[in-house]
Each structure stands twice: as structure tokens, then as C-alpha cells.
A and B are shown apart, each in its own frame.
Chain A
Amino acid sequence: MKRVGVFICHCGTNIAQTVDCEKVAKMAGGLPQVAFSTDYKYMCSEPGQQVIINAVKEHRLDRVVVASCSPRMHEPTFRKTLEKAGLNPYLLEMANIREQCSWVHQDKEKGTAKAFDLVKMAVAKVLKNEPLSRSSIPIHKRALVIGGGIAGIQAALDIADAGYVVDIVEKEPTIGGRMAQIDKTFPTMDCSACILTPKMVDAASNPNINLLTYCEVEKVDGYVGNFDVTIRHKARSVDMNKCTGCGTCWEKCPTRVASEFDMGLGTRKAIYTPFPQAVPNKPVIDRENCLYFKTGKCGVCQKVCPTGAVDYTQEDRLETVRYGAIVVATGFDLFDESVYGEYGYGRYPDIISGLHFERMINASGPTMGKIKRPSDHTEPKTVVFVKCVGSRDEAKGKPYCSKTCCMYTAKHATLVREKIKDSQAIVFYMDVRTPGKNYDEFYQRAVNEYGVQYVRGRVSKIYQSHGKLIVRGEDTLLGRPVEVEADMVVLATAMVARGDAGELARKLGISYDQHDFFTEAHPKLRPVETHTAGVYLAGTCQGPKDIPDSVAQASAAAAKVCALLSREEMPTEPVVSAVNEAVCSGCGLCISICPYKAIELKTISERVHGKTRERQVASVNTGLCQGCGACTVACRSGALNLKGFTNEQILAEVDALCL
């Protein structure tokens, strides 16, 4: 005979307004093997938990049902309560009578009946619960940061400063990311490079940081504390140890191609560093465009290299390294503006994106900081800025706000007015969103001091006529259609997830939203963690954000990594799958179904009719298993069972409801 205690929570009036808690408690008291039941205003509060502890002792309870909210938030709370009361924490069941009763129903009578049903099911299940115990896994004290932009650099610096070794994997030949492309930063108008490059150098010179540039993550195995990551070192065609970064090779290289870093506004060589302050300042050969690789002729760079560092025979190299924690900081891409046929992007050269504009106003950029029309290199007198291109446009698939465009557009417009004295800067906007510190002041300055004209309305069409770009919008404050004859148009294009974000997410086993941004574990309370233990997020790969937000999130992710790495080992969740080897046929179906790669086959030997024979059975790695239960459903022989959610337990619940 077991002794179950049932505790019904009012959640203030959250539950009590639709569920008669007192009545549910009273009815629960009549259920078989229930030794005690009561209700209380806030079960999760300190005195509420004390009610449970006292009852366990007083009534010699050996199992507990708490009927309150979703277990997502408070299951850990009540498990601790049971521990304090001297019970195994897994002898707890929760009935969610808030989200599933009071929040979705209005009729109190029906709500009460349903709450009682849920309690009845929880009681039936808890009777079948077994005590479970946590085991522990070791923590490997090395961290991986994927992405070497400002978020990745900041996270790596913080982790390294705490004394842990950290590797940055960056797919480009240099770290620096998007921030390196930006000219000035709002709202202070600091030179972006001036505040970024010292950090890049810090990262390179920190003895705890290894820069793995021109590298990509190929494969991720393992689990928290013990990730085995295979990294592809792409062939640079340059020996990093011999190269001194003298630059002779790229000066002499005869092949010019459009520079990705300069958004195609300038050129680079086939052997190149993306920009002069690159870290490491050592080149790579772009084999697709290199004459030697295309035709077998040329070889100039190899001839001129004073240290013999150019090596055409290099091949990609794979390396597997073990890490305790991973920070994902892969950044963003820009929305493909060509989706806007009505804006003529791609048809008219003088319509550019905000990032093109950044390169254009950068003193070391392709135009030496001069604002020039790409078509004829003349100075534009009227520049129109269009905000929310892609962003907040459901018809184009991006309903979200990109968060940074209001500020950078104000910055761009200010710069136009500052650099071209007789210019007009006109911003078409829907809303101006400037909630950061000193942000609104910055925008107001653009309007009041720099005379930037803001027109509230979304542009409908841009076309070219008489050498001008005709921009059509409505001034919605005036209520009239308006037209601007512009010399250049700058589109504030949306931030979108990296094209390969989904692929990386699948490698890492983390989730991503409908726009391919990686999903945090909780939007408010766990903003830098993912649902996969040991994998953390920083910067725009999680959603649009500006530099201060990215840096703050990076430091937060680093703090989480440090907290993890500071431990020798960590407890694992015992709600995992278990194999009944006697029944398992070794078919391996569970292996293909497991999303966490937690199951493999192992060979066991057993004695059958006096003979020893070997056969294969499934084996669950409890460090990797996340307790999702997919394998238990797939298993045809019923050999797999999820601890805490056994088939028996689930059936007991069903019986309680239906019989």
C-alpha cells in the first residue's frame, strides 16, 4: 500500500477562478492510496513548499502529486522540495491544471471536472513511479566558439580570461565579421575598425585563444562536457608558419575579382586578405579565380614569395577536437533585395544596400570614403533611404523587425548631410524605433541638426527615368502620394539568418525558428542557452541585434560556459531511455530514429541452451539521451522504455481517465 499526497495550487486566482481547488482536493482525497490531500494559494512559494514537506513527514507520504502549472518551470522546484522532505525527487508527478484548465476554459464546473481528471491520472501514474538517480559525466575544459565576428571574439576573450582554452572557428580567412565592414557605430559615431581591431589583435595574442580561420565545422558528436567536433581546415594554399604577411604576393597577383568584403564595390586579388587589418594577416588563394588553379599557368605568387610559403599542393585537412562547451556566433546574412521587383534592385546600379553604403563611406573603402553613384561615379545630391526592406513584410516572408536599421539609416542620412553640403537626405519610414541608450537623441539630431527629412510611408515603386531614380511613396502624415527624383537610393535591407544556419543547427542538434534563427531555451529566462546542454548562443545568429546587444549576449554566453567548465563533472538527467536487452532484437531502427545520436549497437554474449553466443543489442548513451521517447515508439519489440514515462505508467494514466 502506497501513500500518495495530493497538493492543489490556486496560483492566486490564476487557477482558482476557473477551478474549484478546494473541491478537487477533497475529491482527490477519496482516490485509492491517497493518504493526504490539500489545496494552497501558492504551492511554489516558500510556505507552500513547507506544506508539502510537513505533510510528507506527518502523513508518512511516499509519493507526491502537485496540481499546478506546467512542469516546465516548477518541476525542478518541487523535485527539490521532495529531496528536502527526504523523498526521491522522481517520486513526483505534476498535473497541469493552469495551462490545460483555467487558461483555456471559462466554465468553472467543467474546468473543475477536467482538473480532477488530470489529478486522477497523475495519481495513477505516480503509483508506478520508481526512484531514479542521477549519474554524472566529466567536463572537458576547452571551449569552441563558432564564428569570429564581434560576438565570437568577445565570448572567446571572456572565456580565455577566465583561464580556459578556447578555439574560434571562422570560415572566412580573417576574424572580424560584419563589424569589420561597418564604417562608424551609432550612437557615438566611433570608428568601427578603431574599436574592433584592437579586440581582434587581443584575440590573436591571447595565449588561451586559438584562431582557426578559413575553417568550418564539419561534424559534431558527443554531448555536454564531451563534444567531439570535426573541423575542416580548408586549404589556404599558404603555409601559415612560413608566411610573414609581407603582401608581396597579392601585390603581384595579376587576377582581380570583386571583393566580397567591399560588397562588390571594389576588387581584390586571387591571393588575398579580405582587408588590410585582417587577423591573421596572412592570405589565402581563392582557387576558383586563381589563374594557376584554372589554367596551370602563372604561379607568380609562389615565385615572388620571399619565404616560400605559397603551397599549391595543400589540401583540406580534417581534425577532431574535444570540447566541453560550444558558443554559436555565426552572425547574419542580408536579405535578398531582388525579391522586391518593384524597387528595381539589381536592375538599377544606383540602388544599393546599407552595407554597400558602409563600404562606400569608409575612408579605406573602395571609394576612399567618397559617396559616389556606382553607375557614373558622380556625387549624388539627393539620396533616398528606404527602411524596412524585407523587414516587417509578411508578403516577402520576413514579418520581424531587424532592429538596427532605424539607427543605421539615421547614421547614413547624417553622414550624407555631413559629407555633401548641398545634399538632400530623405528617409521613407513606417516607424522610428530607437529604444537604446542615447538612440533617440541620435535620431533627433539627424532631423534637427542635420536636416534629414523623414517621410512616413512605405515606398511603392522605384524606377529610372531621365537619369534619376523616381521614388514613389505616400506621405501618410499628409495623406498624399509623393515622388522624389533621387540620385541614389539606399535600401535598409533586413537581417536574415545565414544561408547554412539550418545545416549547422542539425549538426549541433539545436533548434531554429521559421526564419532559421537559432532558438534560445527560454526567451526571457534562458536567453543564451539552447535546448541542447552545453551549446550557447551569441549575437545575430539568434535574432537581429546591434553591436551592444551582441557583445552583451556574448559575455553572457561566456559566463555560462565558464560556469560549466569550472566544474569537474555534472549530474545527468535520469529520465532517459533504457533497453531491455533480453527483448531487444538488435534491428537498429531506434538508431535511425534517435535525433540525438544517443543509441548504438553493442555486442553482448549470452548463454542459450548451454552454448555461449554473441548478438547485437541497442545501447543508450545516457549522456546524449534527452529523454524524448522517440525510440520507445519506434521499437517493435517493446524493448525500449523511457524511465519516468514507462509504457506501464502511461497506460495507468489512460486507464485512470477511461476506465
Chain B
Amino acid sequence: MKLAYYPGCSLSSTGIEFGMSAPVLAKALGLELWEIPEWNCCGSSSAHVTDHNLALALPARNLAIAEEAGLDVVVPCAACYARLKAAEAAVRSSRRTKEEIEKIIDRKYEAKITVRSLLDIIYTEIGPAKIREKVLRPLEGLRVAAYYGCLLVRPPKVAQFEDPENPVSMDRLLSAAGAEPVDWGYKTECCGGGHPTISPEFGLKILKPIYEEARYAGADCFVTACPMCFTNLDMRQKEVGKQHGTVYNLPVFYITELLGLALGFEARELGINRHLVNALPLLKHKGLLHPVKGGRE
């Protein structure tokens, strides 16, 4: 399956682990990724909250390039996915919007191709059963809180592939990889987006119950598909714990890192050594860092 690949800005910086693990996993699963040449930033929430035109035009340029190549677009980052998907929906729903956007980007874009999240592709096109077959290093004993956040599931009319209240794709994929997903109530609660960075005075309050609920549910770690969720949960964890006199010690993973690990890739090539909440001791403790016999190259 050949897809146009939109990595987005975070995947080479704060979300470097995602940027490393996504292509590695995709290749192992037989996905051929063609990185959109000269892609630009999707505008993120900054364009979204400041300028309607820009919020649609910035993602539309990338989609126009992919459409020219005739490929559906796959996006690992949930935040970029939401912006690209919104542009696709806007252009599909109104002829006038399509024309306005085409004028702004000075390219033809008819939304003939479809934007899909990498998670959707892995879950729907490849599926847990295939993953189970390919597992070389079962994630046995790893209790995971699958954290979907907002952008993968909402608005349901745009995001489409998952249940907005009780999504299951990451849980099922992780089960297939041998991990134990925990049932918890915060799967789709918001991480606060930019608030923990912009306004920590109340932004950090949004994060606290997420750690608390995951810990209560018995999770060893989080798994997510969103660099914003990841960064908030990973970078702010120590600080929030300190404020409340506790240490959570809940490493955060991208879904691609854990699936990659299960498929036998080494932690380093997936970027797992780069987390702020050090994930290696947990993996070591669970016996998940051992080399795989006859494993990956």
C-alpha cells in the first residue's frame, strides 16, 4: 500500500520518537510512504484560532501536492491529522470554499484523495490479527493506558474512524502485541493542548487527573498517537507530581514505538531512549529490551 506521508513539524523535534518509529513500523508492515515534497506546517491550533483562511489553506497546500501524485495521505500526528482532515471536509462540503482555497494556495485541490491517520491505517488496513502474527517480542506484563485525546476522535463527523467516547483501536492493537490495556475513564479527555505551555498556572491542573486516573487503573505507562498529548504528559509529569507531592513515573509511548518494540525493533532505533520520563527502566523491568532471536536486521 503506497501512501503520501505527512510527518508534520513536531516529528522532527519534540515528537522525534514518533518521527523515528512511524516510518520504521510502516515499512515493517508493508506500507510504502512517499513523503510529501516540500510540505509545510499545517498551521496547528495557532492558525485554527486566528485565521479561518489560513487554517484551511496551509493544510490544503500539502493535500494538493499529494493529490497531484494521486495518493491518499497518511498522518501520524493526531494534531496535524485533525487540521488536514478539517481542510478536506471543508473543501468537500462547499464548492465556494474549494474555489477560495484553490485561489489562496494557487494550486488545484478537489479533495479527491482521503486523509487518514496512521493509527487508522494500522488498525483498519492491517489489523490486530496481522500484528499478532508479526510479534517477535510480546509486550507481556506491560499495563498500558491508551490515551486517545481529542483530535483523533473529534469531531466524530470529521475524524470518523473511531468511537468518540470509547475508542478501542490502540487497545486492541496493544492486546494483539501482548500488552494489557487498562480500562480507564480518561481515554478521550483533553490534555489541555497548548495550555500547559502557555498558561501553566491552570494548564497543569488539566493534566493532574490524567496521571491520577491512569495510576489508579494500574497502568505502567501511557500510549498515545499525538505529539501534543505526548509532550504534555511526558514533559510536565515531574512538575505536576511535585506540585502534589508524588512521583507518577508513568512513561509515555507513541503507539508506533510500542508496536515497533513488539515487532522486534530495538528501543534506540525507535527513539525510546529520548523520553523525558525515562522509559528504559520500565521496559527493562518487564524484560522487553532483550535482543530478539533471529530478529530484525
Touch test A–B (CB under 8 Å): yes
Question: Which residues on A are within 8 Å of B, measured CB to CB?
Answer: 340-342, 344, 347, 461, 463-466, 470
Given A463-B185, A465-B185, A341 contacting B216 (CB threshold 8 A): no
Residues of A within 8 A of B165 (CB): 340-342
* Chain B residues touching A, range: 10 to 19
- Please give me the residue from chain B that is nearest to A469 by CB atom: B185
Report the Cα distance A464→B187, complex, angstroms: 12
Residues of A within 8 A of B186 (CB): 463
How many pairs of residues, A versus B, come closer than 8 Å at their CB atoms? 23
- Please give me the residue from chain B that is nearest to A339 by CB atom: B165
**Out of A347, A464, A465, A466, which one reaches B166, CB within 8 Å?**
A347
CB-CB contacts of B39-68 with A at 8 A, as 1s and 0s? 000000000000000000000000000000
- Please give me the residue from chain B that is nearest to A340 by CB atom: B165
Whether A470 lies near B166 (C-beta < 8 A) is no
**Out of B163, B164, B213, which one reaches A465, CB within 8 Å?**
B213
- Please give me the residue from chain A that is nearest to B209 by CB atom: A465
**Out of A341, A347, A463, A464, which one reaches B164, CB within 8 Å?**
A341
Minimum distance in angstroms from A491 CB to a CB of chain B: 15
7 A-B pairs closest in CB distance = A463-B185, A341-B165, A342-B165, A341-B166, A341-B163, A465-B185, A465-B216
Can you offer 13 A-B residue contacts whose CB atoms are under 8 A? A340-B165, A341-B166, A342-B165, A347-B166, A347-B183, A461-B185, A463-B184, A463-B185, A464-B183, A465-B185, A465-B216, A465-B217, A466-B216
Report the Cα distance A347→B171, complex, angstroms: 15
Residues of A within 8 A of B216 (CB): 465-466
Report the Cα distance A337→B217, complex, angstroms: 25
Whether A464 lies near B185 (C-beta < 8 A) is yes
Minimum distance in angstroms from A466 CB to a CB of chain B: 6
Minimum distance in angstroms from B69 CB to a CB of chain A: 37
Residues of A within 8 A of B213 (CB): 465
Minimum distance in angstroms from B152 CB to a CB of chain A: 15
Residues of B within 8 A of A347 (CB): 166, 183
Chain B CB count within 10 A is highest, among A340, A344, A465, for A465
Minimum distance in angstroms from A337 CB to a CB of chain B: 12
Minimum distance in angstroms from B116 CB to a CB of chain A: 22
Minimum distance in angstroms from B154 CB to a CB of chain A: 12
Report the Cα distance A466→B185, complex, angstroms: 11
Chain B CB count within 10 A is highest, among A340, A342, A344, A463, for A463
Report the Cα distance A465→B216, complex, angstroms: 8
Contacts A340-B165, A464-B183, A465-B217 supplied; 19 other A-B pairs, CB < 8 Å: A341-B163, A341-B164, A341-B165, A341-B166, A342-B165, A344-B166, A344-B185, A347-B166, A347-B183, A461-B185, A463-B184, A463-B185, A463-B186, A464-B185, A465-B184, A465-B185, A465-B213, A465-B216, A470-B185
- Please give me the residue from chain B that is nearest to A346 by CB atom: B166
Minimum distance in angstroms from B155 CB to a CB of chain A: 12
Residues of A within 8 A of B163 (CB): 341
Report the Cα distance A239→B171, complex, angstroms: 52
Within 8 A of A (CB), among B158-194: 163-166, 183-186
Chain A CB count within 10 A is highest, among B163, B166, B216, for B166
Residues of B within 8 A of A342 (CB): 165
Minimum distance in angstroms from B160 CB to a CB of chain A: 15
Residues of A within 8 A of B164 (CB): 341
Residues of B within 8 A of A466 (CB): 216
CB-CB contacts of B206-229 with A at 8 A, as 1s and 0s? 000000010011000000000000
Report the Cα distance A341→B163, complex, angstroms: 8
- Please give me the residue from chain A that is nearest to B163 by CB atom: A341
Minimum distance in angstroms from A505 CB to a CB of chain B: 32
Report the Cα distance A461→B186, complex, angstroms: 11
Chain A CB count within 10 A is highest, among B163, B165, B216, for B165
Report the Cα distance A42→B167, complex, angstroms: 64
Minimum distance in angstroms from A59 CB to a CB of chain B: 62
Residues of A within 8 A of B184 (CB): 463, 465
Within 8 A of A (CB), among B196-247: 213, 216-217
Report the Cα distance A465→B166, complex, angstroms: 16
